[in-house]
């Protein structure tokens, strides 16, 4: 009987102890859950969605185009890396009627530009030539033969130093720019296409190649 009482008493002592351990374990579990929730809350609060680079870049480009007054590209212009015009080579003399202009103008989708704009260092460095409009409304560009103006300065001032037909065309541009700088430069050009091509060598080079017309005469219209 005495041993049974001891066992009973021992059992009574152990049961509360186990209950306390269970409470402690539960309490620890609750504490762990509470900490996890707090971390989740902190993570949610500190999470900031990353901005979309694509959207930002497009917005910036659109803003730049609007500020600079750039217009949508016109149709009828070739934009491949190598341009093949309808008159690529010719064993005989050809005559082209159109506008004296520069490669920069053509690359900017302009069939013709004003004499005042052509009369600029960066324009001349891209090379002078003639644009002509075909029956379907599209435009073509042909370089004039001769060395392009290099952009070198003489006595601290830039001076055109192109040669051959490049110089002849430049002189016509200057004569119009002096009196009516906002007028285009219409002309009829006669020459031979020998199969040579050239490209804009300036700082704004675009990789476009155009046939070179070896000019025998340029007549201002």
Choice between 184 and 87, residue whose per-residue pLDDT is larger: 184
Asked whether the beta carbons of 213 and 145 are under 8 A apart, the reply is yes
What's the pLDDT score for residue 83?
Answer: 59
- Kindly list the domain boundaries of the chain, sorted by start residue: 1-31, 94-220
Confidence check: pLDDT of 25 > 90: no
pLDDT tens, position by position, 63-111 = 322 222 223 334 455 544 455 577 767 777 899 999 999 999 999 989 9
What's the pLDDT score for residue 17?
Answer: 44
pTM of the model: 0.62
Region 55-69 average pLDDT: 29
Q: List, in order, residues 6 or more apart from 192 with CB less than 8 Å away.
A: 90, 91, 92, 93, 94, 213, 214, 216
Confidence check: pLDDT of 59 > 80: no
């Amino acid at each position: 009987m005495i041993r049974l009482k001891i066992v009973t008493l021992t059992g009574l002592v152990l049961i509360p102890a186990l209950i306390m351990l269970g409470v402690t374990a539960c309490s620890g579990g609750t504490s762990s859950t509470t900490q996890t929730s707090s971390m989740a809350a902190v993570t949610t609060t500190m999470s900031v969605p990353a901005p979309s680079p694509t959207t930002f870049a497009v917005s910036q480009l659109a803003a730049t185009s609007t500020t600079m007054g750039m217009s949508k590209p016109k149709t009828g212009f070739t934009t491949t890396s190598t341009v093949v015009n309808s008159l690529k080579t010719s064993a005989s003399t050809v005559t082209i009627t159109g506008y004296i202009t520069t490669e920069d103008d053509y690359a900017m989708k302009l069939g013709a530009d004003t004499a005042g704009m052509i009369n600029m260092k960066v324009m001349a460095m891209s090379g002078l030539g003639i644009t002509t409009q075909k029956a379907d409304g599209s435009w073509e560009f042909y370089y004039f033969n001769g060395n392009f103006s290099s952009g070198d300065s003489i006595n601290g001032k830039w001076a055109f130093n192109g040669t051959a037909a490049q110089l002849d065309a430049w002189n016509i541009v200057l004569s119009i720019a002096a009196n009516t700088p906002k007028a285009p430069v219409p002309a009829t050009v006669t020459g031979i296409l020998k199969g040579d091509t050239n490209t804009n060598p300036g700082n704004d080079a675009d990789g476009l190649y155009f046939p070179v017309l070896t000019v025998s005469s340029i007549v201002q219209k």
